[in-house]
Structure 1
């Protein structure tokens, strides 16, 4: 697995499309219990090289009910974005993840993560890729139980999504506590 991660971290397939150049962000061990399949690293993460070390990551850890040490223990959480590099800035938020990464690398990485108990799909890109485009993200998040035990769709924890959270209060009042309970049971195994 370390050889595969090293190969991915050296990837330059779409370097001409990346405003800050390639810096693939991926973390995993063959013992990872939960796989976080997200959009793509933001600029702050690109600069630090540490996945989810930004405001979005802070909120994600709150939703998961874990502290930094638990989150960054890659036997607990594997980090597998749809796009491994920062794609650049859009009008609001970042550009979509590069389309090359997931088809090129996900299946191979997932072969090493056979012990994972749950794949958390963060945002529309991950949910659409793994669950199809038949429902919008809001429906998928509210109907998360139909995707268990394999997947749990979440909105992106970006501060840009604060209005979504305001329109969907049941997410933080009922779904987040259920998610925290699930995460706690998996990590405690």
Structure 2
């Protein structure tokens, strides 16, 4: 058994924070060492917890649209790796889902990222993932996303594709008009 296979199996069986999870543990990740695109997200939503399929919701539909790829390509683990900050549904609070549990990132993130040597583009969705992957947590979402060219072509900070961000998207039409075509071209280039 390879180190990658063992790490992934251990992560998928993780119960590290089970006492904090309202629906219990069900880690949801998609990884393979051959993956060329990494989506670094927040944590699975309730529907994802129920199905075990990452981004199996309107957020996933919008993300795939932004990337310009089909579900078949998106769910090909040898093409796209999906590694959230928290692997399990964290529960719901007053204004939406709770933040990802911090135990996952501490225990698994560094080890699993080290097993992805072929990643050419990392899409970083949402503030928790952005705080982990970028070194200036004081920037607002708008400031960070509008500075995407500073990290391009290897990384890109994105707003979370959730419908909860419709207001942000309507206030920042440049994102879908200017950045999304650049993103789609880069994804197409990587996938050949």
Normalising TM by the smaller chain, what interval?
over 0.9
Equivalence for 1:48: 51
TM-score normalized with structure 1 length: 0.97
Q: Which runs of 5+ in 2 are unaligned?
A: none
> Matched residues in 2 for 1:172 and 1:91: separation?
29
List aligned pairs for 1:13-52, cutoff 5 A: 13-52=16-55
Moved over 2 A (4+): none
> Matched residues in 2 for 1:69 and 1:110: separation?
23
Equivalence for 1:89: 92
List aligned pairs for 1:46-125, cutoff 5 A: 46-125=49-128
TM-score normalized with structure 2 length: 0.95
Deviation of 1:101 (Å): 0.9
Q: Which runs of 5+ in 1 are unaligned?
A: none
The reply on whether 1:143 has 2:147 as its aligned counterpart is yes
* SS of match in other structure, 1:120: strand
* SS of match in other structure, 2:122: strand
* SS of match in other structure, 1:112: coil
Aligned residue-pair number: 188
> Matched residues in 2 for 1:111 and 1:80: separation?
12
Deviation of 1:148 (Å): 2.1
Equivalence for 2:173: 169
Equivalence for 1:182: 186
Deviation of 1:129 (Å): 1.1
| Aligned residues: CA RMSD | 0.9
* SS of match in other structure, 1:179: helix
> Matched residues in 2 for 1:76 and 1:116: separation?
9
Residue of 159, 162, 167 corresponding to 2:163? 159
> Matched residues in 2 for 1:159 and 1:118: separation?
24
* SS of match in other structure, 2:49: helix
Instruction: Name whichever of 144-153 and 32-41 sits farther off.
Output: 144-153
> Matched residues in 2 for 1:137 and 1:125: separation?
11
Deviation of 1:135 (Å): 1.2
